[in-house]
């Protein structure tokens, strides 16, 4: 998601933002960039192409993802469920 923001979502003198959060049930990664008109699109990757697999990897690894439209730009976020033990360091029986 960060690479897509750099390659397709950045404007001169405008940065992108990465935020992460961990709750009792999920790890969330959100990337915000200033180009709201450029939405992520999955596409088949040419086996010899250097690029084009990022969204496929994200879709494969996470439980849910979406795009939020902002007044200026967009946020693409993804969430991955985490076991309770990973968050608390213990497993409750």
- What is the per-residue pLDDT across 35-93, written as a single tens digit (0 to 9) for each? 878 777 777 778 888 777 788 888 899 999 999 999 988 999 999 999 875 556 665 54
Q: Token pair for residue 62?
A: 């996470």
d(CA 20, CA 28): 6
Beta bridge partners, 68, equal 75
Domain spans of the chain, in order of start: 2-84
d(CA 56, CA 85): 28
**CATH T-level assignment (fold) for domain 2-84:** Heat Shock Protein 90 (3.30.565)
Res. 19 pLDDT band, cuts 50 70 90: very high
The whole-angstrom distance between residue 43's C-alpha and the CA centroid of its chain comes to: 16
pTM of the model: 0.74
d(CA 66, CA 80): 12
């Amino acid at each position: 998601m960060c690479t897509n923001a750099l390659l397709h979502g950045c404007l001169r003198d405008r940065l992108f933002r990465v935020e992460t959060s961990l709750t009792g049930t999920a790890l969330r990664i959100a990337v915000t960039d200033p180009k709201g008109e450029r939405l992520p699109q999955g596409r088949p990757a040419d086996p010899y192409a250097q690029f084009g697999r990022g969204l496929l990897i994200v879709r494969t690894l996470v439980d849910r993802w979406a795009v939020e439209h902002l007044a200026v730009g967009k946020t693409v976020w993804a969430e991955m469920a985490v076991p309770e033990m990973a968050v608390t360091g213990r497993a409750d029986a």
